[in-house]
Structure 1
């Protein structure tokens, strides 16, 4: 290259990258699995890994006699598990019996006194209704609506009938139904199939154009759809093949009978992952390990590795299975310890909630529990995801223990409590001179609650409270 100069330069750059191994993925998955999924995973592992074996459970009387011996062994396991990745293979062959997982016993608690783990639709929806902080009229109408839903989850009454039975006006009944239609499961409280699917698609954040197309499809072409006359539908709607295929995909994602998973005669049930038992000086945390197999490593396969004539492929295969078994056992122990630590702190913080109900929930964030337990926020999130706690008050999802809060002079206050205060302020205002959002802010500030006007407006909308001018006109 004329007039130019070619420079060659070698530079070095040091960077850190986290490589997620299959074992690490399995460990994270185990941490997040509820009990029913975990049992399926363990059965799969036992079937696929010959090094793993299930220890035959001892009768209750023998368990009692060996309790102290087990506690000593658990302490030894805790020390050993710290260095599982660095373990010397020869030492492992000698001491293989120490690497094991054994479910803890329930210390003689009678868990039959707890309410059933079967979760019904009514209880599931009523919990969601109570934590909205809605007015008493909305709660009254909402409770009647929830109690009147069909097994499929549909609402098939007239607003006038609900109004007559509950003593609230029809507009309030409509607002209560609209609120319930935002609850889980998606599509609940719909008045027909079209509305059921539309509600679910909205919650899935599907583009409005597809929601409108699907509504037209169900309204005008339901028979064609059932008869697979797809060409006629596409010609009538003037849509391309890929658009129609996407519409079918979206429809298949929805549940036409969202209430059936909670029907009394269905097989759907929620298995609690932990029991919270009230005692005089606090709460005991009992992990539900019903059906959990006690695991250890098979000594036969470990002894095979001592055979000098063992071929390389077989040796590599057994060593890989041993590593997988060790990782699984360690993951199980870590899972149980993490659940115990998190739930222990949850019960301490939310003792009033467990004692007196949802109105006494305190503001709580994942970070608060992470700080108290020394676990990472992501670990706390996985521990509480999809898991349920059985209490003497009933069955609660662990994420129910977490609520947002606002700053006050006395500390944080839950958003449910603030919403309740906003509702009380509006209910007590002069009908001819309703309060503006800014005036509500000032009244709350007077009670030591620091809140922005836009937050008051947001909560007012969520409570289905009209604006100042709308309230004034409606009361004339």
Structure 2
């Protein structure tokens, strides 16, 4: 064997401290951002903050806009509960950093859907450390948190229940469609078990939760700060960030570094660098949120201007328009709200899955409006009849999709509606 030393030039992507902090701040809403900056100001003498200005201002003609009781912050989030549990896990510094980043990236169902490799790069840890971090998050309560799919969510809950029967795991991994359609015979044939046992297994799997709510009941009853304001003037919309709600960090220049001893001077320089980095990260938070909101409102202008149904819109569409990764858009809209015509809306509500129509795709919101209209005219119409009516308009939709949208709108089944009439 011959050993040799050679020089190679390779390209690699490193995430700067500035970008790390900006990505850490991006999922935070206005209240969380303010709290974080206040905490940093307590630790950093070079960072000063100016509190938000709650001044009454007229947003709409004849309507005074002021701080009201619905502006109280939400509390008791899933992320907070998970972070508390992490303290009892023996993780190395890198894995702990990655675990916190994974928790921050969980979606509304408590799922982790971002590439694990992105977390490894962001936190500058190995793939093995990122995998340990994900395993640690998935071991927290409630069971199923951090799952990357419905199958994994169910399997995590089965493991937590101490289930050893491999048939349950096989159904969860490979036969969810048959489970949803109650095709017990097909499952029984595939697994080599009786139909009665297949039904028993499926009944147990249905008792598990399909996800973990990322909003507690207590938090859902609370009110939040709307970060974005949308104003209508004629046929134009103005979208801007309500900076009156935001704390304003700045670097305190009153400290004299020159003349201080070497240790004090080094400390103050490091604190000044950290303060500048935080100020720049908050500016990036503002810029990304404002640009994202502008793109969303522009895409859904018909909804705001004319009260039309939402257009089909995915986060990937906004990401392409901004030239960023879809995970950045997901972080930017997480927990953020806008106010329009005195109505507060989550930014995520303005995204809607597309359904194939006769001439173009239509949104779930469009379908919901049609369902509501049909049931207003014929209250006793069952879901399959509603699906057929909508199909006659050239829109392919399944009965179970109608049932799903009906439940989301809080409309009872045809059986209950007819029973109430009697």
The normalised TM-score by structure 1 is: 0.47
Corresponding residue number in structure 2 for 1:278 = 232
Count of residues paired in the alignment: 280
Mapped to 1, the partners of 2:219 and 2:249 lie a distance apart of: 33
Secondary structure of residue in 2 paired with 1:413: strand
Q: Note the C-alpha offset of 1:384.
A: 0.5
**Which one of the candidate residues 348, 352, 373 is aligned to 1:403?**
352
Which aligned pairs between 1:179-190 and structure 2 lie closer than 5 A? none
Q: CA RMSD in A?
A: 4.7
Which of 1 and 2 has greater Rg? 1
Say if 2:309 and 2:369, in contact at 8 Å, map to a contact too.
no
Q: Could you say if the C-alpha distance between residues 105 and 374 of structure 1 is closer, same or farther in structure 2, counting changes exceeding 3 Å?
A: farther
Mapped to 2, the partners of 1:392 and 1:297 lie a distance apart of: 37
Corresponding residue number in structure 1 for 2:257 = 304
Say if 1:115 and 1:392, in contact at 8 Å, map to a contact too.
no
Unaligned runs of 5+ in 1: 1-5, 58-102, 121-183, 187-199, 214-249, 466-470, 472-476
Unaligned runs of 5+ in 2: 73-107, 111-141, 146-152, 164-207, 408-413, 415-422
Q: Could you say if the C-alpha distance between residues 403 and 115 of structure 1 is closer, same or farther in structure 2, counting changes exceeding 3 Å?
A: farther
Say if 2:109 and 2:212, in contact at 8 Å, map to a contact too.
no
Q: Deviations over 1:226-270 (max 9, x none)?
A: xxxxxxxxxxxxxxxxxxxxxxxx9xx999x9644455xxxx321
Which aligned pairs between 1:213-292 and structure 2 lie closer than 5 A? 259-262=217-220, 268-290=222-244, 292=246
Which aligned pairs between 1:295-374 and structure 2 lie closer than 5 A? 295-301=249-255, 303-305=256-258, 307=259, 310-355=260-305, 360-374=309-323
Q: Note the C-alpha offset of 1:460.
A: 4.9
Say if 2:47 and 2:251, in contact at 8 Å, map to a contact too.
yes
Q: Could you say if the C-alpha distance between residues 56 and 114 of structure 1 is closer, same or farther in structure 2, counting changes exceeding 3 Å?
A: closer
Which aligned pairs between 1:435-474 and structure 2 lie closer than 5 A? 444=391, 447-449=393-395, 451=396, 456=398, 459-460=401-402, 462=404
**Quick check: 1:37 aligned with 2:32?**
yes
Say if 1:33 and 1:386, in contact at 8 Å, map to a contact too.
yes
Mapped to 1, the partners of 2:372 and 2:54 lie a distance apart of: 48
Mapped to 2, the partners of 1:336 and 1:254 lie a distance apart of: 29
Say if 2:227 and 2:245, in contact at 8 Å, map to a contact too.
no
Corresponding residue number in structure 1 for 2:185 = none
**Quick check: 1:118 aligned with 2:70?**
yes
Mapped to 1, the partners of 2:340 and 2:331 lie a distance apart of: 21
**Quick check: 1:380 aligned with 2:329?**
yes
Secondary structure of residue in 2 paired with 1:33: coil
Secondary structure of residue in 2 paired with 1:50: coil
Q: Deviations over 1:194-229 (max 9, x none)?
A: xxxxxx86896453575699xxxxxxxxxxxxxxxx
The normalised TM-score by structure 2 is: 0.53
Q: Could you say if the C-alpha distance between residues 106 and 398 of structure 1 is closer, same or farther in structure 2, counting changes exceeding 3 Å?
A: farther
Mapped to 2, the partners of 1:369 and 1:420 lie a distance apart of: 24
Q: Deviations over 1:285-307 (max 9, x none)?
A: 24233353433322233x423x3
Moved more, 344-353 or 11-20: 11-20
Corresponding residue number in structure 1 for 2:113 = none
Secondary structure of residue in 2 paired with 1:390: strand
Secondary structure of residue in 2 paired with 1:300: coil
Mapped to 1, the partners of 2:23 and 2:43 lie a distance apart of: 19
Q: Note the C-alpha offset of 1:360.
A: 0.8
**Which one of the candidate residues 157, 161, 165 is aligned to 1:207?**
157
Q: Note the C-alpha offset of 1:366.
A: 1.4
Q: Deviations over 1:81-135 (max 9, x none)?
A: xxxxxxxxxxxxxxxxxxxxxx999986467458966299xxxxxxxxxxxxxxx
Say if 1:106 and 1:286, in contact at 8 Å, map to a contact too.
no
Q: Could you say if the C-alpha distance between residues 208 and 371 of structure 1 is closer, same or farther in structure 2, counting changes exceeding 3 Å?
A: closer
Q: Note the C-alpha offset of 1:458.
A: 5.0
Moved more, 413-422 or 25-34: 413-422
Corresponding residue number in structure 2 for 1:237 = none
**Quick check: 1:415 aligned with 2:364?**
yes
Q: Deviations over 1:270-294 (max 9, x none)?
A: 1211222222232222423335343
Mapped to 1, the partners of 2:271 and 2:353 lie a distance apart of: 45
Corresponding residue number in structure 2 for 1:70 = none
Say if 1:23 and 1:324, in contact at 8 Å, map to a contact too.
no
Q: Could you say if the C-alpha distance between residues 350 and 314 of structure 1 is closer, same or farther in structure 2, counting changes exceeding 3 Å?
A: same
Q: Deviations over 1:285-343 (max 9, x none)?
A: 24233353433322233x423x3xx4433332222222212211111222212222221
